[in-house]
């Protein structure tokens, strides 16, 4: 059986082949095309591009991210890619949610108990730029939301946030 035939029969191998053909491809699109969860596709990236953080670290990680100033909060579903810039309010648990409210356009209620994995993702975009994000996954292996290191006017990653992101790799992994 050829590699192409194996990939056609095995969704993980198909995702692997899609990533090999387009290493900077959008993980959600690769996962959808291969018929695997986004988390399963993400796990196929080289280890240096994705670091696992235990979901039990949700609150501590959120509190660290809340100290970063304005971040890019992103939700990507099959129907919408929603991007909001704002600071992350420090939250608190109540009524089954992690509740975030404050002077920011980012607010609401997160079912933190549904978070089953967190990844620090550091990889190139289709434009060849480095992108750094913290991605929160649910039990189905789909992204709940992502928090990105922001860019300046020249599209470079903000140095202070990039330094903090790099620090997460040692303090949360």
Per-residue pLDDT reduced to its tens digit, 122-135: 999 888 899 999 99
Phi, psi torsion values for 161, nearest 5 degrees: -70, -35
| Cα angle 110, 115, 119; round to 5 | 115
pLDDT of residue 6 exceeding 60, the answer is: no
Q: What is the DSSP letter of 44?
A: T
Mean pLDDT of 142-165: 97
CB 106 within 8 A of CB 88: yes
pLDDT of residue 164: 98
CB 133 within 8 A of CB 121: yes
pLDDT of residue 3 exceeding 60, the answer is: no
Show Cβ contacts of residue 123 under 8 Å, excluding neighbours closer than 6 positions: 24, 45, 49, 50, 130, 131
pLDDT of residue 128: 86
pLDDT of residue 78: 83
| Cα angle 91, 152, 81; round to 5 | 60
pLDDT of residue 2 exceeding 90, the answer is: no
pLDDT bin (cut points 50, 70, 90) of residue 5 is: low
Per-residue pLDDT reduced to its tens digit, 91-119: 999 999 999 998 999 999 999 999 999 99
| Cα angle 149, 146, 13; round to 5 | 110
């Amino acid at each position: 059986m050829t590699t192409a035939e194996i990939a056609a029969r095995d969704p993980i191998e198909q995702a692997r082949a899609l990533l090999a053909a387009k290493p900077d491809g959008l993980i959600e699109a690769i996962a959808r095309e291969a018929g695997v969860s986004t988390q399963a596709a993400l796990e196929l990236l080289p280890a240096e591009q994705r670091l696992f953080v235990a979901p039990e670290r949700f609150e501590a990680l959120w509190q660290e991210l809340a100290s970063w100033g304005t971040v890019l909060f992103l939700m990507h579903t099959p129907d919408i890619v929603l991007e909001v810039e704002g600071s992350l309010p420090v939250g608190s648990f109540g009524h089954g949610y992690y509740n975030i409210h404050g002077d920011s356009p980012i607010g609401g209620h997160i079912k933190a108990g549904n978070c089953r994995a967190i990844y620090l993702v550091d990889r190139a975009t289709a434009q060849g730029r480095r992108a750094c994000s913290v991605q929160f996954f649910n039990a189905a292996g789909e992204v709940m939301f992502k928090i990105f290191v922001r860019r300046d006017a020249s599209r470079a990653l903000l140095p202070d946030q990039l330094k903090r992101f790099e620090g997460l790799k040692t303090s949360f992994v």
